[in-house]
Structure 1
């Protein structure tokens, strides 16, 4: 029987997600009569997307789904130069809601694309990876085995370095970097890795509380890379840890079957607090005697990014 629920901090929305959502809502509020399109999910959370759809904001997969001259916002995950050029050619008004930390990785890629060979540590097909890899020629690796597979493809005639997706597992990425160094001892290490502060801090929060709980419940969408990583991290120590997306997925039988008395809850960087509140309320409807509190020693995420003064660019 569930007795205690601990909430991790930090959890949920990160500064980049807040930035992207605020960007879209501000543009919409300032241009209420103008049809507004967002390319891809603004963040990887269906609840956020559905709330925006209710306001009349339209989501598209590609620019071809919007008319020439339309107002389109790029999602938090960023886009490749090819997409930007397509927007220019179609005379679109563009708002770039890319997370500033992702933009920083794009900038690094542009700065070294002519001087270095680049290995990109990321997940094939993820929106962020697609956008970043559009900036320069790169070798994508997801595992240590992928690094070994680059033997014969990378030579010593040109310096080698690496970039990484911002939402990766800190521990797994460290192992991949060590493998790169082992296979390519001439690699140049960046001054700072690209994993964002929010991903790191949320993973650290789970690591700190994992010994005090029987399992972790991660709130986040299946296409949210950082949510999936949080769940994988928890499952390495507490195998009965799991991930859900909505309150409808709350399963008291999972808790009873696995003898979970102390449950830790965290949320991916694109999961709103309202989802956490709904899921906790649903858990309490099944286990009304359970207590809910912040995990001792936890702290708030206080970072924020300011919106630009000029939010739309006419191409």
Structure 2
């Protein structure tokens, strides 16, 4: 029977997600026009549905909105081709891209004329698509992918690499090590691209592993950072699992795996209300369960200021 729930800290919304949501809210408050958002503003269905209820319309491509419309780019960023398309359509553009993703885009533009760029990321992820639109890059998802580049990259010419911001720190280091082994001349960026929120949330989960029976990760199925948290937890506690909402909770699973002490964390795009609803349902299952912050956990204190001019 479940006895204790430890809450990881930090968990849930990161500064980039808060920035993107606040951005959309402020644009809507300052405009009388219909607001369109290209792609999901963040990878969480609850957040998207709440915005739809407030009148925000979500589109996959710019052609789904009329020329001249007000369109906001999501937190994951877009390629220069999308920006150019918006200009051709005379759209008023707002950019809710996470500032840490924007930093990776700037590095790509800086490197593109001089370096062969290896991009460590996930094929098809919105962030990867946007970043790779900035320059010619070689996408790798594993050490094996790096090995396939030996006949495509010239070791005599400058080489560097960039990363998707939501990756597993440990898994990415394995890929970086393989890049270094196969391309000894590679220039390592001064700072890794994996964002502080991803790193801190992974560190918080790792810190809890010896004190729990399983970790519950709350996050969307298309949330890269949520999936990385689950993979990290399952390495030490195989019965760890992920849910997208309280409806996914299965008391039988908890009983079958004899989970007495459960850790809870949430992906960087998961709202606190989802965490609250899941805790409420666990309390319904187990009325006497104790819920507390994991000892020695720390708060996420970073924030990003919105730009003075929201639309271009």
TM range (shorter): over 0.9
RMSD, aligned CA: 0.5
For 1:232 and 1:18, locate their aligned partners in 2 and report how far apart those are by CA, in whole Å: 25
For 1:137 and 1:197, locate their aligned partners in 2 and report how far apart those are by CA, in whole Å: 26
For 2:209 and 2:223, locate their aligned partners in 1 and report how far apart those are by CA, in whole Å: 21
For 1:303 and 1:160, locate their aligned partners in 2 and report how far apart those are by CA, in whole Å: 32
1:276-313 CA-partner distances (Å, limit 9, x unpaired):
00000001100111100000000110100000000000
Q: Does 1:137 align with 2:116?
A: no
Aligned to 1:228: 227
Q: Does 1:179 align with 2:165?
A: no
Q: Gaps (5+ residues) in structure 2?
A: none
Q: Does 1:24 align with 2:24?
A: yes
1:175-212 CA-partner distances (Å, limit 9, x unpaired):
00000001111111011110000000000000000110
For 1:245 and 1:158, locate their aligned partners in 2 and report how far apart those are by CA, in whole Å: 45
For 1:157 and 1:232, locate their aligned partners in 2 and report how far apart those are by CA, in whole Å: 37
* 1:212-291 → structure 2 map (5 Å cutoff): 212-291=211-290
TM-score by length of 2: 1.00
For 1:158 and 1:181, locate their aligned partners in 2 and report how far apart those are by CA, in whole Å: 15
For 2:25 and 2:309, locate their aligned partners in 1 and report how far apart those are by CA, in whole Å: 14
Aligned to 1:55: 54
For 1:225 and 1:48, locate their aligned partners in 2 and report how far apart those are by CA, in whole Å: 16
For 1:237 and 1:151, locate their aligned partners in 2 and report how far apart those are by CA, in whole Å: 34
Deviation for aligned residue 1:156: 2.4
* 1:1-315 → structure 2 map (5 Å cutoff): 1-31=1-31, 33-313=32-312
For 2:173 and 2:287, locate their aligned partners in 1 and report how far apart those are by CA, in whole Å: 42
Specify the SS of the correspondent of 1:265.
Answer: strand
For 1:253 and 1:220, locate their aligned partners in 2 and report how far apart those are by CA, in whole Å: 21
For 2:99 and 2:162, locate their aligned partners in 1 and report how far apart those are by CA, in whole Å: 16
Higher mean C-alpha displacement, 2-11 vs 154-163: 154-163
For 2:57 and 2:2, locate their aligned partners in 1 and report how far apart those are by CA, in whole Å: 41
For 1:245 and 1:8, locate their aligned partners in 2 and report how far apart those are by CA, in whole Å: 17
Q: Gaps (5+ residues) in structure 1?
A: none
For 1:214 and 1:137, locate their aligned partners in 2 and report how far apart those are by CA, in whole Å: 45
For 1:236 and 1:256, locate their aligned partners in 2 and report how far apart those are by CA, in whole Å: 21
Deviation for aligned residue 1:158: 1.7
For 1:252 and 1:25, locate their aligned partners in 2 and report how far apart those are by CA, in whole Å: 37
Deviation for aligned residue 1:22: 0.2
- Name segments (4+ residues, structure 1) moved above 3 Å: none
